[in-house]
Chains A and B, each alone.
Chain A
Amino acid sequence: DAKTTQPTSMDCAEGRAANLPCNHSTISGNEYVYWYRQIHSQGPQYIIHGLKNNETNEMASLIITEDRKSSTLILPHATLRDTAVYYCIVRPLNTGFQKLVFGTGTRLLVSP
């Protein structure tokens, strides 16, 4: 699976958009970009995933560059409850078995 690089930490003001970058320059053509988050002491939670098109759901938006070497997770209106560690993971979707390789992620702190 491709390796990902994320900033260690980021800050965001409540109500503003949080833009979390991820570099995955060695991504293969069949690999998807996944985002999970882990709120303090809880199990990780799936947020969103995508292949090459931008994706949006009720939680977030995912913007993937045209060359697919990087992506950005956008939380459009961050709240205090969005304070968490965010993990960017790359893996093939065409395998039912999901061996997720977690890095150290980005610690997002949302402040009032």
Chain B
Amino acid sequence: NAGVTQTPKFRILKIGQSMTLQCAQDMNHNYMYWYRQDPGMGLKLIYYSVGAGITDKGEVPNGYNVSRSTTEDFPLRLELAAPSQTSVYFCASSYSRTDSYEQYFGPGTRLTVT
């Protein structure tokens, strides 16, 4: 299994541009998550999904959109990029069982908005 994969690894955007961060998992996990991590800080939840077609906001959703058309993929869309969105973005997934305890993270996408 490849686990959780993210593309691209790095990206530089100009203010006002848009882009989509890709995330895919091959573990048949129902739950998927997007976090952002600013320098020296912990991760903050942006959006999450409990299954295909179902998404919900996390702690810091403003400026982002998500969709979940398949179990495997959970792209994060940035519209009108702003410098405040400069961050490292991590995608994660987990099982939906109530005894599930581990969240699996991807390698991250480092985004700079200038």
9-residue interface stretch from B13-21, B63-71, B77-85, B102-110: B102-110
Q: Describe A's contact surface by its main secondary structure.
A: loop
Q: Which residues of B contact A104 (CB under 8 A)?
A: 40-42
Does B74 count as interface, using CB distance less than 8 angstroms? no
Interface residues on B, range: 20 to 34
B-contacting residues of A (Cβ < 8 Å)?
32, 34, 41-46, 49, 87, 93-105
A-B contact pairs, 19 of them (CB 8 A): A32-B101, A41-B108, A42-B108, A43-B106, A44-B103, A46-B104, A87-B42, A97-B48, A97-B50, A97-B96, A98-B94, A98-B100, A99-B48, A99-B58, A102-B35, A102-B42, A102-B43, A104-B41, A105-B42
B contact set with A: CB distance below 8 Å: 4, 30-31, 33, 35, 40-45, 48, 50, 58, 88, 90, 92, 94-108
